Structure 1
């Protein structure tokens, strides 16, 4: 009887796994097909784009669209936009990692009056839609003279409560005995932070850094508001400008090629940072033995 029960249980597990894998495959196909179609469209001629219906792959692969994109340095300097986006996203991400790690340490390892009240108050405020802050944020940026500068993209959002919450929860999984042992040896808070806590929270910092990089890279509404100088725009604001240059069925292949160039950095980043997502879920992943 026991063997029969085990067989039935294994069959149920196999069926549930099959349904789960089937569901994931369907979602993957739904997501991949538009991306593949966008990539292949960037290699089509304008004639084929307009004349032919939906075809996943072009009749003839051409590279003229990418050549035209890279040669257009006057009205659509896409390489300059990519450089601007890389500089903004990398600077923003590095500052985010420094700020959220220090803030998370304060909220999780240090004891001061009103600590939890302050944290959950700020966490609750962060649930308000970001769009309500656009006008006040622009007024602040304008007062600092940061309009049409990289500071307008780098500084806002450095202390995101979502990232601080993740770091705080991760730090709470680190035993407090490590802090106590270090204090016995004469270490202060900054020594504990740099020598003990920082190496152990590396996985969650990488994940938060990844989220921050992608969020900064893909930010669309804010750069459209704070940039008017074409040469200083990031790639997202530049893509909106390209809709006027290449859109309305005039140069769809070049418009799609520009969009494909814009997503390459984020795809590479996700490809090389996947393992850290799993590590960040386990709150004790940095603890050995």
Structure 2
């Protein structure tokens, strides 16, 4: 065994143990979802003695009490719309503050930085009251509109742009490119890792949000997947751990897929930030 390998072996062992500990709840959840009701309540074994798909079949067949496909559609639509709006608006806002002669730029930047210190939960009641007064509760509007911008995203992209040299932009201006062309062909490819990281963080935040959807939705058809699963846990399926785990597995898959796809952009963003 090489000397370098011997030195790194203890680190690999510790890292493997830590990874297993982190993955153990996920593994237990997946295996429990394939157990029968009686086994999930009585057995302490991780692996099921008799594998079954009845929990997944039961979830997708219970379209009245638990329309999980409808909840998944709501979550996908709300999350996609909110993520796109956050990334689009934050890029425009950060670019305007970093590159354009915006009147009162210092005041606006001060307000953006001050907003970072305000907990999001403080804004829940005023936002709820506005949507209630406008008669927009239990619709897609209050589920999407609050996610249209992120001060943290503006802060991240702004700090990236002020450290980015303007030579490429000036060259594009000389070649006759417009402001939008420069933003799309020069700026966006440069900040793409940062924008993708912001998109993933926003996606996971909206996807996992429970408190806000629980305030602005009333009907079963307007629930998100997180709120719907909470309803299952609090309702008749509370005595069925296997079915609860099956619904949680279904809800977890989209988030894992998005994270795996965007993982390389997150790593690239962190690497670029470290280099700078």
Give the structure-2-normalised TM-score.
Answer: 0.90
Cα-to-partner distance string for 1:238-278 (whole Å, 9 max, x where unaligned): 11110133444x21111111111001000011111111012
- Tell me whether 1:279 sits opposite 2:260 in the alignment: no
- Residue of structure 2 aligned with 1:196, choices 177, 180, 186: 186
- Residue of structure 2 aligned with 1:99, choices 89, 97, 115: 89
- Tell me whether 1:47 sits opposite 2:38 in the alignment: yes
Aligned equivalent of 1:78? 68
Q: Residue 111 of structure 1 aligns to a residue in which SS?
A: coil
Q: Residue 118 of structure 2 aligns to a residue in which SS?
A: coil
- Tell me whether 1:27 sits opposite 2:15 in the alignment: no
Q: 1:284 to 1:38 in 2, by over 3 A?
A: closer
Q: Is the 8 A contact 1:173 1:283 kept in 2?
A: no
Cα-to-partner distance string for 1:110-151 (whole Å, 9 max, x where unaligned): 233542442243222222221111111101222333211111
Structure 1: gaps of 5 or more residues: 1-9
- Residue of structure 2 aligned with 1:258, choices 226, 247, 263: 247
2:10 & 2:121 partners in 1: Cα distance? 39
Cα-to-partner distance string for 1:41-81 (whole Å, 9 max, x where unaligned): 1111111112222x111111111111111100001111110
Two-structure CA RMSD over aligned residues (Å): 2.2
Q: Residue 235 of structure 2 aligns to a residue in which SS?
A: helix
Q: Residue 201 of structure 1 aligns to a residue in which SS?
A: helix
2:125 & 2:116 partners in 1: Cα distance? 16
Q: Is the 8 A contact 1:246 1:254 kept in 2?
A: no
2:214 & 2:11 partners in 1: Cα distance? 41
Q: Is the 8 A contact 2:237 2:243 kept in 1?
A: no
- Residue of structure 2 aligned with 1:174, choices 164, 177, 184: 164
2:186 & 2:160 partners in 1: Cα distance? 14
Aligned equivalent of 2:112? 122
1:56 & 1:268 partners in 2: Cα distance? 24
Query: 1:228 offset after TM fit, Å?
Result: 0.6
Q: Residue 156 of structure 2 aligns to a residue in which SS?
A: helix
Q: Is the 8 A contact 1:246 1:252 kept in 2?
A: no
1:173 & 1:282 partners in 2: Cα distance? 15
- Residue of structure 2 aligned with 1:147, choices 137, 159, 162: 137
- Residue of structure 1 aligned with 2:99, choices 109, 113, 136: 109
Aligned equivalent of 1:208? 198
Tell me the number of residue pairs that the alignment of Structure 1 and Structure 2 aligns.
272
Structure 2: gaps of 5 or more residues: none
2:17 & 2:141 partners in 1: Cα distance? 42
1:124 & 1:23 partners in 2: Cα distance? 41
Query: 1:194 offset after TM fit, Å?
Result: 2.1
Aligned equivalent of 1:38? 29
- 4+ long deviations beyond 6 Å: none
Give the structure-1-normalised TM-score.
Answer: 0.86
Q: 1:189 to 1:282 in 2, by over 3 A?
A: farther
